[in-house]
């Protein structure tokens, strides 16, 4: 089958033929229809320090996907051939304390599809039955392909109650924009999103944020004044991994405010812990999705007319992967989709 492979240690990817996957007893084989390009894939492509320390070549990339089940292992009981599925890319051990307690998103032994094992940038992908989310209602294939990052957004956006609250989101990447859409859909009073990219702020406006703020030109305090706020934001979602973003967020939170952090910083940086203490802020780290309560929430949100289509800005055939990766890397985009329907 055709697959996009990190063949050897070093920059670049190869579209090449690899053996078709075979399922284990509890696995399913999925014919891939669409995939989304993630920042992790860009790291692996460029072979930066993170990739060099974490990736073992050869490896088929990709963990954001949707496809049709074409084969099941002999012990599979719930997923059927013909089911349309998205994949949960975190492969957990199933035996640690958190897994046995039903907190699989906290598994300390998590492995990543397309990171530690062959992934979905291919004609077919194999994964455990329990990692296959079956779509029971009609869903746009491009949206279904990005359920993985959509789940990050939902997990972050719904970590704290947002009904009637003023919400600040720092970082208007695709996940930040989706989190903004979820918060607004869930009943937030004001949703403000910040970035330095006017292109991405324009996408955020399309999903209905109250204010998309370029922090290279305006301050978050300016946003508060424009919206008639006087006591700060109730809920913060840090999506950028930028030190100044979290520092500005803490400085603009209301007393008793709650902050969910998804953005991964590249290095350590100082935090004004005095403000955290004196304001009695609650700070929570977010990683991945709650398996599988977040997935249920994602499906329900879409069934209740949450519109994510503005977030998907570019679509390419899998054979144009170089152009697709270049587009994603340039950053003047939302989510970039690869179409694998013609692969075999």
Q: Which residues are catalytic?
A: 40, 43
146 labeled part of a ligand binding site: no
175 labeled part of a ligand binding site: yes
333 labeled part of a ligand binding site: no
Q: Quick check: helix, strand or coil at residue 328? A: helix
**How far is the C-alpha of 214 from the C-alpha of 216, rounded, in Å?**
5
63 labeled part of a ligand binding site: yes
263 labeled part of a ligand binding site: yes
Residue 6's DSSP bridge partners are 59
155 labeled part of a ligand binding site: no
**How far is the C-alpha of 130 from the C-alpha of 76, rounded, in Å?**
9
- Using an 8 Å Cβ cutoff, are 26 and 76 in contact? yes
99 labeled part of a ligand binding site: yes
Pairing of strands 124-128, 111-112: unpaired
90 labeled part of a ligand binding site: no
What is the DSSP-derived secondary structure letter of residue 105? G
38 labeled part of a ligand binding site: yes
**How far is the C-alpha of 302 from the C-alpha of 142, rounded, in Å?**
13
Q: Which residues, including other chains, have CB under 8 Å from residue 173's CB and lie 6 or more apart?
A: 195, 200, 239, 240
286 labeled part of a ligand binding site: yes
Q: Using alpha carbons, select from 176, 132, 131 the residue that is nearest to residue 154.
A: 176
Annotated binding site for Zn(2+): 38, 63-64, 93, 96, 99, 107
**Residue list for the binding site for NAD(+):** 175, 195, 200, 262-264, 286-287
Q: Which residues make up each annotated binding site? A: 38, 63-64, 93, 96, 99, 107, 175, 195, 200, 262-264, 286-287
């Amino acid at each position: 089958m055709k697959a996009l492979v990190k063949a050897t240690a070093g920059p670049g990817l190869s579209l090449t033929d690899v053996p078709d996957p075979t399922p284990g007893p509890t696995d399913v084989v999925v014919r891939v229809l669409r995939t989304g390009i993630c920042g992790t894939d860009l790291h692996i492509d460029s072979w930066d320090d993170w990739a060099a320390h974490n990736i073992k070549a050869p490896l088929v990339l990709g963990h954001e996907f949707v496809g049709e089940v074409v084969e099941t292992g002999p012990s599979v009981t719930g997923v059927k051939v013909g089911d349309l599925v998205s994949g949960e890319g975190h492969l957990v051990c199933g035996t640690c304390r958190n897994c046995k307690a039903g907190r699989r998103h906290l598994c300390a032994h998590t492995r990543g599809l397309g990171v530690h094992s062959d992934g979905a940038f291919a004609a077919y992908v194999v994964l455990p039955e329990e990692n296959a989310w079956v779509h029971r209602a009609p869903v746009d294939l491009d949206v279904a392909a990005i359920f993985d990052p959509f789940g990050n957004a939902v997990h972050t956006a719904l970590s704290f109650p947002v009904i009637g609250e003023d919400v600040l989101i720092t970082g208007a990447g695709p996940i930040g924009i989706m989190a903004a859409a979820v918060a607004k859909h869930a009943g937030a009073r004001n949703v403000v999103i910040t970035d330095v990219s006017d292109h991405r702020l324009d996408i955020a406006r399309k999903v209905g944020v109250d204010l998309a703020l370029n922090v290279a030109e305006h301050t978050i305090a300016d946003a508060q004044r424009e919206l008639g706020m006087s006591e700060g934001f109730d809920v913060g979602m840090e999506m950028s991994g930028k030190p100044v973003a979290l520092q500005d967020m803490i400085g603009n939170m209301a007393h008793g405010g709650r902050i969910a952090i998804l953005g991964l910083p590249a290095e350590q940086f100082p935090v004004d812990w005095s403000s955290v203490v004196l304001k009695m802020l609650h700070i929570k780290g977010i990683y991945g999705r709650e398996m599988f309560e977040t997935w249920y929430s994602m499906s329900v949100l879409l069934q209740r007319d949450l519109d994510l289509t503005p977030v998907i800005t570019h679509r390419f055939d899998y054979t144009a992967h170089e152009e697709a990766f270049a587009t994603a890397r340039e950053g003047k985009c939302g989510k970039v989709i690869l179409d694998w329907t013609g692969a075999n």
